[in-house]
Structure 1
Amino acid sequence: MAIRKASATWEGNLKDGKGTLKVGSGAFEGPFTFISRFENSGDTNPEELLGAAEAGCFSMALAHGLSQAGHTPKSVRTEAKVNLALVEGGFKITTIELSTEAEVPGLDNSAFQEFAENTRKTCIVSRALTGVEILLEAKLVG
């Protein structure tokens, strides 16, 4: 099966150093710093990329599950908020909040909620992140 690659380089100490994150396909490369991870700046950070991975995986898996059941969506859009907090012992990703909106003709909200919840539990990235609580808000639109 597929093996995906990514790399990171860090120069200097934690507070004053700087780094670069790069995905193996070459589709993304960006700088990161202490400030971009633990405060706010225009640079990226590992948590943001983790959120993108979770949102992308969830949207794709939800579309697949719906389609397999005969409910091909017009669209699925998911946002992931990765919460990084200082806890006893250091920093930790405490939760990932998923917010998804899907337009699925002919599907009622109750069935949609079941598909969304099942996807939250079973998408590939969610399963890899079992040590993180993943919260879900799902909205059927259209």
Structure 2
Amino acid sequence: MKFTRKAKAQWKGSGKEGKGTLTTGSKVLENTQYSFHTRFEDGEKGTNPEELIGAAHSGCFAMQLSFLLNEAGFTATTLDVDATVKFEDGNVTHVLLDLKGDVPNIDSKQFIEIANNAKAICPISKLLKADIQLEAKLL
């Protein structure tokens, strides 16, 4: 399977005082605001690259895990994945994927084994150079 996706960023002004917008090809994000303040401070409405990486990573991982569970004969009732992206000194250094899964008829050992495999082969995991940690809990 091959496909491409597109997104667009527009920035106006200096790094600290400027502002930008992000638009995705699907238009889920359309002229969504981002700025120095939304990236490095809190309080202003808008997004930031690290938040978007967290959304992409948690979504990709959850879908990959669902496929692997299906291959093993299981179907998840729910997979909740929180991604915490750590930014330090100009680099994304760490991503914590916090997984809570409700998967009928699977034991905890097999669930964690499949989850770790999903973490390793998820396309966004493979894209990132950061340390990626997984905490998994079967409900």
Matches for 1:21-100 after TM superposition, within 5 Å: 21-29=22-30, 30-41=32-43, 42-86=45-89, 91-100=90-99
- What amino acid does structure 1 have at the position aligned with 2:133? L
What runs of 5+ residues in structure 2 fail to find an aligned partner?
A: none
Identify the residue that residue 101 of structure 2 maps to in structure 1. Answer: 102
The alignment partner of 1:113 has SS state of: helix
1:19 and 1:25 map into 2 onto residues whose CA distance is: 19
1:24 and 1:32 map into 2 onto residues whose CA distance is: 17
- What amino acid does structure 2 have at the position aligned with 1:140? L
- What amino acid does structure 2 have at the position aligned with 1:137? E
2:4 and 2:77 map into 1 onto residues whose CA distance is: 30
Report how far residue 12 of structure 1 moved.
0.2
Q: Does 1:6 align with 2:43?
A: no
Report how far residue 85 of structure 1 moved.
1.2
2:86 and 2:46 map into 1 onto residues whose CA distance is: 17
Report how far residue 139 of structure 1 moved.
0.8
What runs of 5+ residues in structure 1 fail to find an aligned partner?
A: none
- What amino acid does structure 2 have at the position aligned with 1:31? Q
Identify the residue that residue 19 of structure 1 maps to in structure 2. Answer: 20
- What amino acid does structure 2 have at the position aligned with 1:92? N
After TM superposition, the runs of 4+ consecutive aligned structure 1 residues lying more than 2 A away are none
1:17 and 1:84 map into 2 onto residues whose CA distance is: 21
- What RMSD, in angstroms, separates the aligned Cα atoms of the two structures? 0.9
The alignment partner of 1:16 has SS state of: coil
How many residue pairs get matched?
A: 136
2:108 and 2:116 map into 1 onto residues whose CA distance is: 12
- What amino acid does structure 1 have at the position aligned with 2:27? G
TM-score norm. by structure 2 comes to 0.94
1:121 and 1:10 map into 2 onto residues whose CA distance is: 34
**What is the percent sequence identity of the aligned residues?**
42
Report how far residue 39 of structure 1 moved.
1.6
2:103 and 2:125 map into 1 onto residues whose CA distance is: 23
TM-score norm. by structure 1 comes to 0.93
